[in-house]
């Protein structure tokens, strides 16, 4: 019964404006999702890049450590 009174007070123009407002809101929601995905993708790519750089640096440090150990071992043998 309350719904019939409410519907009687709403015009077709009001309904059209509300539909347009909701469509605009969904459009902004879509833009927000695209922006969130873009930020996430950039973040993941940045982390992958950092991981690769750190792996290269670790390999370089291991090689330096092995070289120093070899030099020390050679010095002790003499």
Per-residue pLDDT reduced to its tens digit, 25-63 = 899 999 999 999 999 999 999 999 999 999 999 999 999
Q: Which range marks the domain in which residue 19 is found?
A: 2-77
Proportion of the chain above pLDDT 70, given as a percent: 87
Residue 8 has pLDDT above 80, yes or no: no
Number of domains in the chain: 1
pLDDT of 10 reads 74
So what's the pLDDT on residue 78?
60
Q: In this predicted model, which residue has the larger pLDDT, 63 or 7? A: 63
3-state secondary structure of 24: helix
CA dihedral 34, 37, 42, 44 (to 10 degrees): -170
Report how far residue 12's alpha carbon sits from residue 41's, in angstroms, rounded to the nearest whole number: 44
């Amino acid at each position: 019964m309350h719904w019939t009174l409410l519907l009687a007070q709403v015009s077709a123009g009001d309904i059209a404006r509300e539909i347009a407002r909701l469509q605009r809101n969904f459009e902004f929601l879509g833009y927000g999702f695209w922006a969130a995905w873009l930020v996430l993708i950039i973040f993941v790519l940045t982390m992958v890049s950092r991981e690769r750089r750190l792996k290269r640096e670790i390999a370089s440090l291991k090689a330096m450590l092995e070289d120093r150990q070899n030099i020390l071992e050679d010095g002790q043998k003499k």
